[in-house]
Structure 1
C-alpha cells in the first residue's frame, strides 16, 4: 500500500484490487460464514473439535496468518522513537485502560438495563483491549506501524496484569457501589497470558526474525521492495478467512436471534464511534502527526474479541448470552472499523493542510 500521497482519492486509487474493495470482500465473507454456519450440518462441531486456548484452531491459524505480514513490515530499529514519545504512550494507556472500559460499562448499563447476560458480555468486550485486528486497520489507514507495534505490546502487558482486576471492579465492585446487580468473573492471569503469547507473541517473533534475517541476508532494499510486496496480501487473506470461520461458528445464534443481536449492536456502535472519534480528536488536539493520531484512534477503539469470546465461553458457557455478546462484537466492529479506515484516509488531507499552514 502506498503511503506517500496526502490526497485520499490518490491513496485509495493506488491500492490493490483486494485493498480497494475490502468492504465488499468483508461483507461477502461475513455473509458466507453466516450462511455456512446456518446451512452446513456439523460444521460448528467440526471447527470446534480442536481449539487453542479456547479459540477454534482455524480461527487461531487465521489470526496468526493475518498478523504476520503486518508485523514483518515493522522497522524494529525505529521502535525507540515511539517508546520515547510520552505524548503518544500516556494518552494510549488512559484511553485504553480508563476511558474504554468505563465507556462500555456506561453504555451497557444505559442501553441494556433489562438484559444482564448481554450487558455482562459487553463489559467483558470493553475490558479486552485490541492486540490483533487493530494492526490490520492501522496499516490500511496508513498509520504508524512502529507505533502500533509498541502500543499493541503495551496493551498486551497491561491485559495480562489488569484484565482480571478490571473484570472484578466493573462486574462486582462498581455495580455494588451504585446499587446495581453484580456479577462474578472467573478468569486466571495465565489464561490471558496464554492468549497474548499465542496471538501476539508468535507473529511478533516471526515478523522480527523475518526482517532481521532478510535484511542481513539480502539487504533492506530487497526486503522492503521484493519480499514484503509478495507476503503483503496474505494478511488480508487471513483476515477474510478468519471472518468466514468466526461467523460460521456463530451463524445459527446470530441469524436465529436477530432482535437480540440488534439490542447488542446498539451500544457497540456507540462505543466504536465514540472511542474512535474521541481518540482521533484528542490526538489532533495534542499535536500528534496523522500517522500517530490514526494509530492512537484505532488502538483505542478496537477490542480483543478473541479473548472476550474465550473468557465468556469459559466462564458462562458456549450458549450463554455473554458469549453471544462477544460474538456480536466483531460482527459490528469489522464493518465499522473498515468504514473508519476510509474516514481516516479522507482526513489525511486536513492534516496535510494544517501542517502547511503552520509552516
Structure 2
C-alpha cells in the first residue's frame, strides 16, 4: 500500500490563516514601521533602551516571551523521548551549530570584511550566538517537528552557557593568532549568558509545559488542542511583529544613516544563512531524516540568537560601536531571509514525498 503523501506547498499555504498567509507583508510593514519610528521620533531609541534590566531590554523580552509561549504550549512533551533517541538528529545539530556555524561565520567575516575590524568582530559574535528563540516560529511555519525543535533549542541553550565565552576567546584571539591575523578580545561571563537563556527560553518553556499539563489534566487533550491552542496561537505572530518593531526602532537612525555599512555587513550574513540552511537541509535528507526533522535541523542551524549577540556587543564594546551595529543588522537580514526559507522549505517537501513513494515498492 502506498503511504499518503504529505500536503504540498499549495495545500499548506491554502490552509493558513490570513495573518499567516501574508506574514512576509506584515513583517515588511513591521520592519518599515520600526525604522521610521526610530528615524522620525526624537529620543525614541534612547527611551526604549532605557527600559531594561542590566543589558536586557524589557520591551524586547516581552515580545520574545509573547512570541515563544504559544509555540512551546503546542509541544507534545510526552513525545520528547522519540527525539532524544534520534542520534542522527542530535549529533548533526551539535556539529552544525557548534563546529561548522561559528567557523563559517569566522571565514565569511574575514573574507568579506578584511578592512572593517569592528563589523567583522560583531559578525563573529553573531555566529557564536546560536538561536534559542525566534527559530521556533520559523520551524512552526515550515511545519517542522515541534518536539525536535524544543529539544534542539534546549540543547543549544546548554551549550550556549558553557561554550559561548570559550568560543569567543578561540575565534577572536587564539585562531587569529595562529593565522597571523588581527586579534580582539571578548569578555563575557557565563552568568550573563545563563540569564539570557533563562529569560528567553526558560520562562516561556516553563509556561508552555505548565499550560499543557494543567490544560490536559483539567479539561482533556481534545479541549486543549482544539479550543485553547487556537486561541493563544496568534499571540506568537503578534509577539514576533512587536519584537521586530522594537528592534528596528531602537536602531532605526543608525541603520538608515549608514546604508553603505549595512550593505557590507549584509553580504556575509546572506551567504551564511544560505549556506547553513541549504547545507543542513541537504544533510538531513542525505542521512534519512523525514521532512519535519530535516526542516527543524535546517532552521535551528541557520538561525542565530541576535538578542544575545546585540547584548554582548553593547555590553563589551558600547552601544555606538561597529560591533553593536553588526549585531543589529543581523535581524534586519535574518528575518526576511528566513521567512523566504520557510516557503523554500514547504516547496521542498515534494523531495521527501518522491523519496517515500520510490521506497514504498521496495519495502513491499
Query: Do both share a fold (TM > 0.5)?
Result: yes
- 1:67 paired with 2:68, answer yes
Tell me the residue number matched to 1:39: 40
Q: What is the CA–CA distance in structure 2 between the aligned matches of 1:53 and 1:304, rounded to whole Å?
A: 18
Counterpart for residue 134 of structure 2: 133
**Distance in 1 separating the partners of 2:273 and 2:54:** 27
1:287 alignment partner in structure 2: 288
TM alignment of 1:188-337, pairs within 5 A? 188-337=189-338
How do 1:36-115 and structure 2 match up within 5 A?
A: 36-115=37-116
Note if contact 2:38-2:44 (Cα within 8 Å) is conserved in structure 1. yes
**Residue deviations 1:225-265 (CA, integer Å, cap 9, x gap):** 10001100000000000000000000000000000000000
Instruction: Answer yes or no: is the 8 Å Cα contact 1:71–1:203 preserved in 2.
Output: yes
Would you say 1:161 and 2:162 are equivalent positions? yes
Query: Tell me, which stretches of 5 or more residues in structure 1 are unaligned?
Result: none
Instruction: Compute the displacement of 1:348 (Å).
Output: 1.0
Shift of 1:53: 4.4
Q: Is the 8 A contact 1:121 1:321 kept in 2?
A: yes
Displacement of 1:45: 1.5
Partner Cα distance (1:223, 1:108) in 2? 46
Query: Contact conserved, 2:6 with 2:353, CA < 8 A, in 1?
Result: no
**Alpha-carbon distance in 2 for matches of 1:213, 1:280:** 36
Q: CA RMSD in A?
A: 0.8
Tell me what 1:344 maps to.
345
Deviation at 1:22, TM superposition (A): 0.3
Partner of 2:31: 30
Separation of aligned partners in 2, 1:220 and 1:53: 40
Distance 1:52 1:141, change over 3 A: farther
- What is the TM-score with the length of structure 1 in the denominator? 0.98
- Paired with 1:38 and 1:264, the residues of 2 have a C-alpha distance of 20
- Kept in 1: contact 2:172–2:185 (CA 8 A): yes
Deviation at residue 52 of structure 1 after TM alignment: 3.5
- Please give the alpha-carbon distance, in whole angstroms, between the structure 2 residues aligned to 1:98 and 1:167: 13
CA shift digits 1:252-282 (9 cap, x unpaired):
0000000000000000000000000000000
SS of equivalent to 1:201: helix
Would you say the 8 A contact 1:164–1:188 is kept in 2?
yes
Structure 2 stretches lacking a partner, 5+ long: none
Cα deviation, residue 16, structure 1: 0.3
Secondary structure of 2:233 counterpart:
helix
Deviations 1:284-303 (A, max 9, x none): 00000000000000000000
1:189 positional shift: 0.3
Seen in structure 2, the aligned counterparts of structure 1 residues 14 and 223 have a Cα distance that, compared at 3 Å, is: same
Distance 1:300 1:52 in 2: 29
Q: 1:55, CA displacement in angstroms?
A: 2.6
Q: Is the contact made by 2:212 and 2:224 (CA closer than 8 Å) also made in structure 1?
A: yes
1:140-191 alpha-carbon deviations (Å, 9 max, x no partner): 0000000000000000000000000000000000000000000000100000
Contact 1:53–1:194 (CA under 8 A) maintained in structure 2: no
